[in-house]
Structure 1
Amino acid sequence: MVNGERRRRTAKDASGLALELLELLAAEASPEQMTDLARQAEIAADSSAAAEFDRSLELALHVRSLFARRQQREAELAALIDAARDLTAPHELDPLLKMITRRTRLLFGVDMSYISFRDPESEGSYVSASDGHASALTIGYRVPNDAGLGREATYGGVPTWSSDYLADDRMRHSPVLDEIVRAEGLRGIIAAPLNHGTETFGTLYAADRKVRHFSISDVSLMTSLSDLAAVAINKARILEQRGSHLADLGELRRHGRLQTRLTDLALRGGGVKQIVTEAAAALDCALELRSAEHHRVAAAGDPPEVAEEQVRLALGEAYRTEQESPVPVRLAAPDGSPHPESWVIPVTAGDEELAVLLLHPRRPLDGSSRWKGQLVTQPLAVALQMQRGEEAVAGPFRDELFEDLLAETGRPVEQLAQRAARLGLSANHPMMVLVGRPEGGSLARAASWAAAYARRMGGLRSVRNGCVSLLLPLTGHLAEGGDGVRAHRVKDDMTSHLGHPVTVGASGPITGLDCVRDAHREAMRCLDALLALGRPGTAAGAEDLGFLGLLLSDAPDATSFVISTIGPLLEYDRLRLTELTRTLEEYFAAGGSPSVAAEALHVHANTVYRRLDRIAEVLGPDWSLPDRALDLQLALRLYRTRRALQPDSGHSVATPAQVTRTGTPPPGQACGSN
């Protein structure tokens, strides 16, 4: 080990050199200093002293390396203890994860460290924290679990490493993972599982951007660090859950006081609108209360539009999943995904569904949505029950008024109008009459539904001969469409509530309480016609049935049919002294030929054309269509026949007063529909 230029020394000199080596070792000299001492020595090559000195130098260097490794181990243990002290202190989860990745990167002297958590709802993981990343491994990035070092560490339960990951063919690779590693420029990587009991919930990584051969000491250190990190992460999760539970408990107490206040408000007579308004402001959400028939009763906070069919499906899911205590059900968006801002909560009293509450929070709700929505339903149920009680007291008065309107010898119209005004029914507002017959089930239940429906719509109800009758103002969802369309809407509402088919006949619109009786007879005629046609469970108005309503009715009412069909034309002739009715008769008699009709009327053909245009203005442009024309011809025939049977009436058009005395159809539509 020494060159040929070293001086010759005796054996005594060799012992002195060994002592000098010990002195250097004790002074923690560097290996270079010890080697320099060897270069200064000159011992004979065949001397035993030379071999002894070489052995002394070898042992000194070995002892020094042991000291160096021990010092490195002590430094690592000190750093690990510091990390343990930091990790075991209380931390929120996100800052804790950031601390773990930074400690790992500094402790191993690598370029990057990151943590991934397994996603229990999918087959992948997501990056939850990283330190030293460039661009690819950002927080939230999703990576598969079926390849890479993370898979090997998870299944093996111990750290796994690679000195050059992309060039290492000992493990399963994934294009996604390889692209991430390539984008970050990583080569040497070590991964350790994060375990809680027997479950692996994540992986801790340390990675270098150069080839890195991890030693046994590195693996041991990574094992200890990952164990400490797993304990700290689980502790932080438990603390967060406890804090969340405590926060929920405090919030529950606050909302419990809100529920008490809302219930007191309901008991003091506060309406559902006031309760909904206060609850929406206190809960920082939008609320909408719908009736059992899914009509809006009250709203606050500008709730979005939600289709009725969606609400019905959500309610069905609520009752299906938990029959005894309905729970909120999240609505589905049009694409089928959960809608984060709409919840449906039934408002019930016992087994009876009183209404439906739609909750639209400003922010997405978690499990607390169960009690946040349901704490409002109890005060609403109390208010609805109290309102029902008040309406039940007024119910007999409303029913009595409707019976008086249907009576053959009724009270003076002025008196009836005053009673109607006290009950909130305007005699001058357009109205309609509907008659419904339940095809099975309890008539009492149908009557109860009809009473609630009439109160909500501001109308009246009557029960006669196994049927329920409704007098309703044309407002809300009844404001549009003909009487047939309105009849279908009421039929659908009633069928949905009763759970069995209902047949409905309708007549309208009418104006004036003196027209209610005639409209009721027409609605009954429509109902009789539907049953005679073998169409129970359907709905129709006079415009849907035409002369079939007259032909098939159990109690034919030719007068109402004539009024509803040609009444406007008769009234026009009476007021303007025209001959549109006779012109229409001659037109039909001539087979639809204006020129032939003109000869019969002794007028010019152009006059007939002008009169036909005026008829279209009075009766509507569809008067000449086959179905409408057939009804018109039958009505004209009935009208002419009745006039012929009254020889004293002459050829003038009958007045309303004459009709009242003789039973001849009045010329106008003062009480008819259409």
Structure 2
Amino acid sequence: MADTIPVEVVIGLMQAASAAEDVDVSGLLADVDLPEEDTTRIAYEVRRLRATSDRWRRRGQELAALFSSARELAQLRDVDELLGRLVERAHDLVGTDVTYLSEFDAESRELRVRTTLGTIAPSFLGLRVPPGIGLASQVVEGRRPYWTSKYAAMTQAPHDSAIDAVVAAEGLVSLLGVPLLAGDEVIGVLFAANRVEHAFAPEEISLLSAFADHAAIVLQTARLLARTQDLADEAQRAYAELTRHVEAMERASEVHSDLTSLVLEGGEAPDVATALGRALRCRVTLLEPGQLDGPVAEAVDQSRRSGRCAPAGYGSCAVAVVAGPTLLGALLLEEGEVEFGPVERRTAERAAQITALLNLKEDALVEAEQRVRGDLLADMLADDPDRRHDIAARARARGIRLDEFRSAVVVAVPAELRREAVRALRRTGGLVGEHTDRVVALTADPDPAVASTVIHSTVSRSVRAPILAVGAGFADGDDLRAQVDGASACLRVLPSLGLSDAAVTADEYLPYTALFGPGETRVTAYLQRVIGPVLKWDAEHAGKLLPTLAAYLGNRMSPVATARALHLHKNTVLQRLERASELLGEDWQEPDRLFRITVAVRLAEVTRSP
């Protein structure tokens, strides 16, 4: 054996041991006189050193990539973006076909695939793994890496047919899963998978585990930061809401102070709307009952039932002004600078109550005056001459000129709504009162048709119910009582004629008014004289002669048309007409008798109608 080895050969051997590529060691030792077994030993050691150097070099590169990824991930704050970048970096580090991350739900103990890279099956993303099932559950329960080179043949964990189908659709064969740990808490599992059989080396497992440790810390930090930001945002919102509530309470206090002053200083209802609008920095309109229509009317009806503000469309709301069952009007608020919240709505509701009180106060004064005017009208229509004595002088004493009135309108209103109708009519001026269960209004309008239409419209808007109004004109010297009695008689007839909601004049229905006015007992005598036998027959035999005669006369005395109108056979109609001829006489269709019989039949129908 040679005693020494040249320096150049030693340097070459050292370079070969650290070279990235394989170097022929035998060639370097060719000029050195060494036994073959020593040459073999030196070549082996050089290759071993080179393999170690390669491993450390690769480990250094991996660690450099690992720390670079960790620094990049640490700069992300959005959790969803972080999950996507985390899987992307793990995919680059390990180099498998598929990389994905499953998030762990501590409450349900389930794992759900949140982010993937390299997958092709749409069913894979969002896949849920129940507790105790598959490789993923092993990782969670053991809190350490698990892997399998052939998933289909895996026996160390239970399978699930649905999960196996998704894995098969993706073509995954070998899988490696490492836990994402935040202290002792598992927050997820990071998977690397191949579509071929593969035995994962310790270096691969170690690398993915190290990356998962970094990723878990970054992910947990991002979650905590996101939660902290959410809490900060929530605190900011709560502070803003508190500030708004304090401001609203200050505005409400200002309104209450102003409203109290209005009540004590004798303010009026419009002043309430002004004070409310000033405090809430919005437009407030005080509406009379007759001004309500469309969405506003619907909102006021809702507010009237609930006692609360109701939305009226286009950013506005309405609150009814009521006193008991009586609607006095409404406040309409159109949102301005201040958003309407609970405090603003309650303030508006209190303002509506104050408005009602001021209205009642004002109405009490008006009511006292109107009661005197109503008593005056009652005296004008009374049968007692003493009550009508010196009526003109008493009217002048109240500032009322009776010669200005030209129309009387009699209104039929349900008893429970009569007071509200009188209240609505008193706002229009004139002379208003109640007389024999009717509401009577005297107006200056010379046209009774126009007067009845105006009165009908005013009352309808107030009571929101079908009503009948009959107008009658009168002049100086006319008997007002006779005109009112005639209009009242007309009101009794109108329902029999099929009218339930209309404005008419007594002159339009003069024949009926004349017949059913004073002395209407003559009508009964007239009916008995003309068609008494028919009425008696129907009463005794539950017959239908009167309706048949009415239909016959109303259909131009055509039996065919009569049968069609009554839904009867023609022969039935003819038989009834024969019976009528027997009772009335064969000459009942002579012109004079036919006219009187026609009038009698119509009157009988009217008097018998409900």
Q: Please classify the TM superposition score into its range, dividing by the shorter chain length.
A: 0.5 to 0.7
SS of 1:420 mapped into structure 2: coil
Which one of the candidate residues 368, 374, 398 is aligned to 1:419? 398
Give the distance between the partners of 1:508 and 1:385, measured in 2 at CA.
33
Give the distance between the partners of 1:511 and 1:277, measured in 2 at CA.
45
Give the distance between the partners of 1:39 and 1:460, measured in 2 at CA.
130
SS of 2:314 mapped into structure 1: strand
Aligned letter for 1:266?
A: V
Aligned letter for 1:273?
A: P
Task: Check whether the contact 2:113–2:125 (CA below 8 A) recurs between aligned residues.
Answer: no
Aligned to 1:530: 494
Aligned to 1:388: 363
Query: Which blocks of at least 5 consecutive residues in structure 1 are unaligned?
Result: 1-6, 22-33, 84-99, 111-148, 174-214, 297-306, 332-338, 557-674
1:62-90: per-residue Cα shift (whole Å, max 9, x none)? 4423541453365257536xx5xxxxxxx
Which one of the candidate residues 254, 257, 264 is aligned to 2:254? 257
Aligned to 1:379: 354
Aligned to 2:311: 330
Give the distance between the partners of 2:394 and 2:26, measured in 1 at CA.
138
Matched, 1:433 2:408: yes
SS of 2:353 mapped into structure 1: helix
Aligned to 2:295: 310
Give the distance between the partners of 1:242 and 1:41, measured in 2 at CA.
81
Task: Check whether the contact 2:472–2:484 (CA below 8 A) recurs between aligned residues.
Answer: no
Identify if the C-alpha distance between structure 1 residues 250 and 505 changes in structure 2 by more than 3 Å, giving closer, same or farther: closer
SS of 1:270 mapped into structure 2: coil
Which one of the candidate residues 438, 443, 460 is aligned to 1:467? 438
Identify if the C-alpha distance between structure 1 residues 379 and 160 changes in structure 2 by more than 3 Å, giving closer, same or farther: same
1:308-339: per-residue Cα shift (whole Å, max 9, x none)? 2534433444466x4xxx222223xxxxxxx2
Matched, 1:49 2:24: no
SS of 2:518 mapped into structure 1: coil
Cα deviation for residue 553 of structure 1 reads 1.9
1:213-271: per-residue Cα shift (whole Å, max 9, x none)? xx867688556535532442244134303421331232222222212212321332211
Identify if the C-alpha distance between structure 1 residues 247 and 309 changes in structure 2 by more than 3 Å, giving closer, same or farther: closer
1:622-671: per-residue Cα shift (whole Å, max 9, x none)? xxxxxxxxxxxxxxxxxxxxxxxxxxxxxxxxxxxxxxxxxxxxxxxxxx
Aligned letter for 1:420?
A: G
Identify if the C-alpha distance between structure 1 residues 40 and 485 changes in structure 2 by more than 3 Å, giving closer, same or farther: farther
Aligned letter for 2:316?
A: S
Give the distance between the partners of 2:298 and 2:356, measured in 1 at CA.
22
Task: Check whether the contact 1:461–1:470 (CA below 8 A) recurs between aligned residues.
Answer: yes
Cα deviation for residue 426 of structure 1 reads 9.3
SS of 1:287 mapped into structure 2: strand
1:99-126: per-residue Cα shift (whole Å, max 9, x none)? x59996998899xxxxxxxxxxxxxxxx
Task: Check whether the contact 1:484–1:541 (CA below 8 A) recurs between aligned residues.
Answer: yes
Which one of the candidate residues 482, 485, 509 is aligned to 2:453? 485
Query: Which blocks of at least 5 consecutive residues in structure 2 are unaligned?
Result: 1-6, 30-38, 89-99, 127-210, 521-610
Aligned to 2:272: 275
Aligned letter for 1:246?
A: T
Task: Check whether the contact 2:16–2:46 (CA below 8 A) recurs between aligned residues.
Answer: no
Aligned to 2:64: 68
Aligned to 2:316: 342
Aligned to 2:205: none
SS of 2:464 mapped into structure 1: helix
Give the distance between the partners of 1:372 and 1:516, measured in 2 at CA.
50
SS of 2:399 mapped into structure 1: helix
1:149-192: per-residue Cα shift (whole Å, max 9, x none)? 9xx99998756234479x7644689xxxxxxxxxxxxxxxxxxx
Give the distance between the partners of 2:269 and 2:69, measured in 1 at CA.
73
Aligned letter for 2:329?
A: A
Mapping of residues 179-258 of structure 1, within 5 Å: 221=218, 224-226=221-223, 228-258=225-255
Task: Check whether the contact 1:342–1:361 (CA below 8 A) recurs between aligned residues.
Answer: yes
Cα deviation for residue 494 of structure 1 reads 6.3
Aligned to 1:161: 115
Aligned letter for 2:429?
A: G
Give the distance between the partners of 2:117 and 2:445, measured in 1 at CA.
82
Give the distance between the partners of 1:55 and 1:490, measured in 2 at CA.
106
Matched, 1:496 2:464: yes
Identify if the C-alpha distance between structure 1 residues 101 and 459 changes in structure 2 by more than 3 Å, giving closer, same or farther: farther
SS of 2:9 mapped into structure 1: coil
Give the distance between the partners of 2:494 and 2:364, measured in 1 at CA.
36
Give the distance between the partners of 2:445 and 2:26, measured in 1 at CA.
121
Identify if the C-alpha distance between structure 1 residues 268 and 516 changes in structure 2 by more than 3 Å, giving closer, same or farther: farther
SS of 1:507 mapped into structure 2: strand
- Please give the root-mean-square deviation of Cα atoms over the aligned residues, in Å: 5.2
Identify if the C-alpha distance between structure 1 residues 494 and 79 changes in structure 2 by more than 3 Å, giving closer, same or farther: closer
Q: What is the TM-score when the length of structure 1 is the normalising length?
A: 0.48
Identify if the C-alpha distance between structure 1 residues 390 and 528 changes in structure 2 by more than 3 Å, giving closer, same or farther: same
SS of 1:362 mapped into structure 2: coil
Aligned letter for 1:329?
A: A
Identify if the C-alpha distance between structure 1 residues 247 and 372 changes in structure 2 by more than 3 Å, giving closer, same or farther: same
Give the distance between the partners of 1:438 and 1:318, measured in 2 at CA.
25
Identify if the C-alpha distance between structure 1 residues 262 and 510 changes in structure 2 by more than 3 Å, giving closer, same or farther: farther
Aligned to 2:290: 295
Give the distance between the partners of 2:451 and 2:334, measured in 1 at CA.
35
Task: Check whether the contact 2:407–2:472 (CA below 8 A) recurs between aligned residues.
Answer: yes
Aligned letter for 2:453?
A: V
Aligned to 2:330: 356
1:431-452: per-residue Cα shift (whole Å, max 9, x none)? 642223445x45xx62x32442
Q: What is the TM-score when the length of structure 2 is the normalising length?
A: 0.52
SS of 2:331 mapped into structure 1: strand
Identify if the C-alpha distance between structure 1 residues 473 and 267 changes in structure 2 by more than 3 Å, giving closer, same or farther: farther
Task: Check whether the contact 2:380–2:391 (CA below 8 A) recurs between aligned residues.
Answer: no
Give the distance between the partners of 1:366 and 1:233, measured in 2 at CA.
24
Identity of aligned residues (%): 16
Aligned to 2:54: 58
Aligned to 2:591: none
Give the distance between the partners of 1:474 and 1:279, measured in 2 at CA.
39
SS of 2:470 mapped into structure 1: strand
Task: Check whether the contact 2:79–2:223 (CA below 8 A) recurs between aligned residues.
Answer: no
Matched, 1:456 2:443: no
Give the distance between the partners of 2:348 and 2:409, measured in 1 at CA.
37
Identify if the C-alpha distance between structure 1 residues 105 and 368 changes in structure 2 by more than 3 Å, giving closer, same or farther: farther
Task: Check whether the contact 1:159–1:222 (CA below 8 A) recurs between aligned residues.
Answer: no
Aligned letter for 2:230?
A: I
Task: Check whether the contact 1:266–1:380 (CA below 8 A) recurs between aligned residues.
Answer: no
Cα deviation for residue 383 of structure 1 reads 0.9
Cα deviation for residue 540 of structure 1 reads 3.5
Task: Compare CA radii of gyration and give the structure with the larger one.
Answer: 2
Identify if the C-alpha distance between structure 1 residues 273 and 519 changes in structure 2 by more than 3 Å, giving closer, same or farther: farther
1:437-472: per-residue Cα shift (whole Å, max 9, x none)? 445x45xx62x3244223322233223333332234
Give the distance between the partners of 1:39 and 1:388, measured in 2 at CA.
120
Matched, 1:549 2:503: no
